[in-house]
Structure 1
């Protein structure tokens, strides 16, 4: 990309950062007083990216001081020659005598003074900041108050809105001479979508909790069945009195029937456990709220026993 395009992209990013920072400043200040979700703010900033540099020379005539002084004085004494001063007689009409008497003494004094003054001078190189805000346009919407039982919307008073306007002006650095425009309005927000989201979240939380409850219940039932149908018979078998039976050549038909019967019994136990698990899972899906309440009640009843 060209240098101009890169500068344009950089300027746009800077403009976006300035607007976002001002918006966040407005929302934070107002939400601290009004509550979360009560304020919507939009800022549009016009920035001056022109680069200007100038040199200024400032003189202060009141601070002048004498830098140098030169005084010249001349004094002469002598007689005026007959006929007056040379060159004057030609200007006098014929028959008129020049002023003064021949041989009269003359005295002349001449003085000149020259003063040079030093005047205070300040030379400054001034550079205007690039990207300076030249104008702001700010729009702020503030929600009203929900009061009463049931809650009823109430608009905010004019006194409160005037205070909020002053807060916004302070937050963005309002400058009337710059032509800034700031508008703050009290508008009732549409919260139907927000309420629907809250209901969906609550329902989702209930379903998640019910699924966890279902997993616990199914696991508990499975453990009970596993203990009563498998572990207990094994324990009984291990602790029973061993009777020595004479060796036989081979198992009889009755022995094979007993083995088959034990296999069928274990298969029925597994099938029964699967049916119970499916039934519990279906019950949890159909009525998660009731399942959650049952689990909470069961846990409350269990807590005192555990403390004892």
Structure 2
């Protein structure tokens, strides 16, 4: 080993350490179980809780995706998922009524009990709303003011809800109203109008402190009605045309212009032909007038004590008769009241896209053939009849025949091979690659280094033997002159005492080195001259 030198020994030590680390990594990698996803999209609190629970059960666990996913051995994934569900995990990072199981009610103040009750209600409502398929995450905030002592006014509770949707979906008006009523039913004295709902993008879904008669609520309902009418008409058109062109070969879009103004109309209709005598009144009058002609006025008639004139005066007599009849007729009248609240359709436009005829030729290539004009006209007629087409109000229907884009086909997953799935095949491929890499490292790196090391040791042994022989001969020449015996003339036992080359077996014995040291101590000047000679020879 001394013949290798410190540099080569250090290099070999470094290579051995690197190889040891590589094989430890290889064994660790091969010994790891195949991991599978246990839960994803978790709250970090749930991730830590689940990881600790799985570790307590004695199974390896990994947390990935920035603390939102937990991976466990594939053969234990289903079992662990059931065990976590039995323990109520994951909880969505929310605290429910289990908070009262962890607190000591005996030493808890009334204020802390009320705070825990509010937290429990918020957590349970968040879990319930989050159970909807369209909702990814929900957070509820409740404000439940307590009535002060001797206070005449009672403050109403309120709530706010923040929703995170899945895959950029959104709630319609009915679903938002359902969330409002759900929260209102769970909190005493809470009205649905005092619940504000927003989404994770900051969009206001339902403003609070508004009743159903507020302008914003009415406008939202009207918009929802219009969209519902458009979706219903489009679905009806697609279902009708798909009977002819095939499923998935038609797309319809409907745009309706509707008037949601509340209109109340009252009409009174009179029919002059339907007269009926209601009452008759007859009044008869008769009068008789009689007039007499008197004496003429003279001076004598104006004297005192004058006697009136004698004789009968002429008399005039007249009779008068009148009859008045009043007849009251009743004319038939009809009163009609119209109240329109559902909205009036002012105009409808429809666009229908129909795919052509697709097939394959003799060589198996995909072919496309446009549909006949007569068929497209018949389809347009069906669409007009479906929507109640009215040209006077400006309705429009367009039916176009175009080729649909082919759907993107993703690569099919690896087929099962001897009962092995895709993950199993990938695991086997990983093990095979690492094994081949380890074999190559052994053959190309470790084996040459070991061979060179063992080849250099015999050369070091031979050099040491020549060194001892030269040293002995030179020392004998210096001490005894030319007549001194050569090392070959020494007795066999004395020569084996100096160095035993046959039994070296990879290294110079300590006894041989000790003998050389003794020779140098006995003959320091000769040893110095030999070393100088070596230095001159190397130079």
Counting matched residue pairs gives: 193
2:27 paired residue number: none
Question: Is 1:215–2:430 an aligned residue pair?
Answer: no
Q: Secondary structure at the match of 2:391?
A: coil
2:347 paired residue number: 135
Question: Is 1:64–2:275 an aligned residue pair?
Answer: yes
Question: Is 1:152–2:367 an aligned residue pair?
Answer: yes
Structure 1 CA distance for aligned equivalents of residues 381 and 320 of structure 2: 81
1:168 paired residue number: 383
Structure 2 CA distance for aligned equivalents of residues 134 and 161 of structure 1: 27
Output the aligned Cα RMSD: 3.1
2:255 paired residue number: 44
Structure 1 CA distance for aligned equivalents of residues 418 and 324 of structure 2: 115
Q: For residues 212 and 51 of structure 1, do their structure 2 counterparts lie closer, same or farther at Cα, with a shift above 3 Å needed?
A: farther
> Relative contact order (alpha carbons < 8 A, sep ≥ 6): 1 or 2 greater?
1
2:494 paired residue number: none
TM-fit CA distance, 1:49: 1.3
Structure 1 CA distance for aligned equivalents of residues 267 and 341 of structure 2: 17
Q: For residues 50 and 73 of structure 1, do their structure 2 counterparts lie closer, same or farther at Cα, with a shift above 3 Å needed?
A: same
Q: Secondary structure at the match of 1:62?
A: strand
1:288 paired residue number: none
- CA deviations on 1:270-297 (whole Å, 9 max, x unpaired) are xxxxxxx958x98xxxxxxxxxxxxxxx
Structure 2 CA distance for aligned equivalents of residues 35 and 54 of structure 1: 47
Q: For residues 213 and 117 of structure 1, do their structure 2 counterparts lie closer, same or farther at Cα, with a shift above 3 Å needed?
A: farther
1:246 paired residue number: none
Q: For residues 212 and 129 of structure 1, do their structure 2 counterparts lie closer, same or farther at Cα, with a shift above 3 Å needed?
A: farther
Q: Secondary structure at the match of 2:392?
A: coil
Output the TM-score relative to the length of structure 1.
Answer: 0.54
TM-fit CA distance, 1:68: 0.3
Q: Secondary structure at the match of 2:218?
A: helix
- CA deviations on 1:231-269 (whole Å, 9 max, x unpaired) are xxxxxxxxxxxxxxxxxxxxxxxxxxxxxxxxxxxxxxx
Q: Within 5 A, what are the aligned runs for 1:240-255?
A: none
Q: For residues 215 and 118 of structure 1, do their structure 2 counterparts lie closer, same or farther at Cα, with a shift above 3 Å needed?
A: same
Structure 1 CA distance for aligned equivalents of residues 219 and 338 of structure 2: 25
Structure 2 CA distance for aligned equivalents of residues 213 and 172 of structure 1: 57
- CA deviations on 1:92-121 (whole Å, 9 max, x unpaired) are xxxxxxxxxx87875654322211011112
Structure 2 CA distance for aligned equivalents of residues 81 and 122 of structure 1: 63
2:402 paired residue number: 187
Structure 2 CA distance for aligned equivalents of residues 80 and 188 of structure 1: 115
Compare 54-63 and 136-145 and name the one that shifted more. Answer: 54-63
- CA deviations on 1:20-61 (whole Å, 9 max, x unpaired) are 111111111111121012101111111211111132222122
Question: Highest CA radius of gyration, 1 or 2?
Answer: 2
**Residue 110 of structure 1 is aligned with which of 322, 327, 331?**
322
1:299 paired residue number: none
Structure 1 CA distance for aligned equivalents of residues 359 and 416 of structure 2: 37
Q: For residues 175 and 32 of structure 1, do their structure 2 counterparts lie closer, same or farther at Cα, with a shift above 3 Å needed?
A: same
Structure 2: runs of 5+ lacking an equivalent: 1-206, 294-313, 422-426, 433-539
**Residue 221 of structure 2 is aligned with which of 3, 7, 10?**
10
Q: For residues 42 and 105 of structure 1, do their structure 2 counterparts lie closer, same or farther at Cα, with a shift above 3 Å needed?
A: same
1:178 paired residue number: 393
Structure 2 CA distance for aligned equivalents of residues 106 and 25 of structure 1: 92
Structure 2 CA distance for aligned equivalents of residues 127 and 78 of structure 1: 66
TM-fit CA distance, 1:76: 5.5
Structure 1 CA distance for aligned equivalents of residues 234 and 258 of structure 2: 16
Q: Secondary structure at the match of 2:268?
A: strand
Compare 72-81 and 108-117 and name the one that shifted more. Answer: 72-81
Q: For residues 81 and 211 of structure 1, do their structure 2 counterparts lie closer, same or farther at Cα, with a shift above 3 Å needed?
A: farther
Q: For residues 65 and 152 of structure 1, do their structure 2 counterparts lie closer, same or farther at Cα, with a shift above 3 Å needed?
A: same
